[in-house]
Amino acid sequence: TSTNAILYSPLLYSTLLVSHLLLRQPMLWMAKHRSAATFATFAALCKPSPPPLSLSSSPSFTPTLLFYSLRKTRAFATAHGTAMSTMNVEQPSISETIARLRTTDVASKPRFLVLDGGTGEELFRRGVPDDRQIWSATALVHEQHHDTLKQVHRSFLEAGAHCVTTNSYGVVPGVGFGPDEMSRLATLAGRIARQAVHEHQRDSDAAKSLYVLGSLGPLVESYRADLIKPHDEGAALYQILGSALGPHVDAYIAETMSCAKEALQVVQALHDLATTDEGGEQSEVTFTPRPLLVSFTLGSDGNLRDGMSAPSSIRSLLDGSKTKGTGVELIGILFNCAEPEAITKAVDEINKDEELSSRLHSSGIVLGAYANRLTPVDPNWTMADSDAAQPFRNDLDEMQYWKDFVHPWVSQNSLKLIGGCCGITPEHIEVIAKHT
């Protein structure tokens, strides 16, 4: 139908208006049940504005702009280099993809989900200043680094990653950010990551599903189980971050958790966010529940930073989630920001524990790992007291990381989520993606 017909046919004009009103409920349903990317795409077709990066309100527009929104529909499809029928609508949720990873069918693809590498260290490698107070959040605080951050995300996608992680790890009170700043910067981190995915899908012929993981890091210091916030205070702070990231991500990832108690603060926060009043009713507008991945950091001995073994810590997380996280969908448990040798020790312990392995399998939880390339970190280390970055190892180049660690993890230990942390570059991820 031509634009003139739309403008001058009252019947068609009225029909379009009624169609828009009828579409509002399906859009709200997608906001609750589908990926953020799907809803953002669908909402963009019904607005005269560019593709929304914030999904906090339901789409609406005035009748006088109806014809313009239809023109924007085609412009949006053209700008994103894809046909209208393939605009991300059929992408499975990350929960569905992880469920497929658990199948024994060797023909099932993907067989592994490739994560990204270390965003912070990659930012510094590209010229962003290494501020020892706010660390990677420098790329959010200073607008001139926003494009570099987006390019870092895209570099991991171009290397073959299925997921990018928001640069919200350092957006925490421990470095001096208040609640309003945390919310604003976490929102920005989510928007930039989502934009990177959109642009990569626009420019790439690949049809694979891509996801954004919302990073929830330690609120005070990494690696320090002795410095975590009291439970209720920590959960309240994680609510701020979870609420800000939620509209832009497909799942949350609680990263570098030093103990089960720290991870349970995240679980509590996501549970609380999913209720809007004392009656515990689910929110359909202000917050859309997302699945959760929990990733623990380890000492050189393979135990968590509080000294508990990996199997014991996982049991504590699973048991605590029953009471603190009703309704929170835990889909994966990983290990990160640790020496790869330590991760191997932890995974070996889990595999020897038949009862725990069975419990994880029956719960639909997969295991994963993304080691760092750092030299061993002192147990008493703090960012606040450090005056220089931790040195890198010289024995973990791209092929060594794959051959000595990642390949055994995926071939012998059945890990399904694989990537890298500090110092693991797009070049490392490219090798992993090609081999998996």
Q: Which amino acid is at 125?
A: R
Residue 380 CB neighbours (<10 A): 9
Question: In 102-159, where does DSSP find H-type helix?
Answer: 119-125, 138-141, 146-159
Bridge partners (DSSP) of residue 425 are: none
For residues 245 and 190, give the distance between their C-alpha atoms in angstroms, rounded to a whole number: 6
Strand-strand pairing, 417-418 and 113-114: parallel
Tracing tokens 């990642």 back to the chain, one arrives at 406
Bridge partners (DSSP) of residue 275 are: 282
For residues 26 and 40, give the distance between their C-alpha atoms in angstroms, rounded to a whole number: 13
For residues 425 and 433, give the distance between their C-alpha atoms in angstroms, rounded to a whole number: 12
For residues 74 and 70, give the distance between their C-alpha atoms in angstroms, rounded to a whole number: 7
Angle at which helix 36-45 crosses helix 66-79, to 10 degrees, equals 130
Bridge partners (DSSP) of residue 335 are: 296, 369
For residues 81 and 214, give the distance between their C-alpha atoms in angstroms, rounded to a whole number: 26
For residues 325 and 319, give the distance between their C-alpha atoms in angstroms, rounded to a whole number: 10
Phi, psi of 128 (to 5 degrees): -70, 130
- Whether residue 163 is annotated as binding a ligand: the answer is no
Q: Rounded to an integer, what is the distance from CA 288 to the centroid of its chain?
A: 14
- CA torsion angle for 360, 190, 426, 163 (degrees, to 10)? 40
CA distances from 160 to 80, 156, 163, 411, 432 (A): 19, 7, 9, 19, 8
Q: What sign results for the dihedral spanned by CA atoms 58, 62, 66, 71?
A: negative
- Whether residue 422 is annotated as binding a ligand: the answer is yes
E strands, 94-227, are 113-114, 163-165, 211-216
Which residues lie closer than 8 Å to 435 by C-beta, 6 or more apart? 402, 406, 407
Token readout for 107 is 């023909």
For residues 305 and 201, give the distance between their C-alpha atoms in angstroms, rounded to a whole number: 39
- CA torsion angle for 298, 299, 302, 308 (degrees, to 10)? -80
State the binding site: 337, 421-422
Which amino acids are annotated as binding site for Zn(2+), given as ranges? 337, 421-422
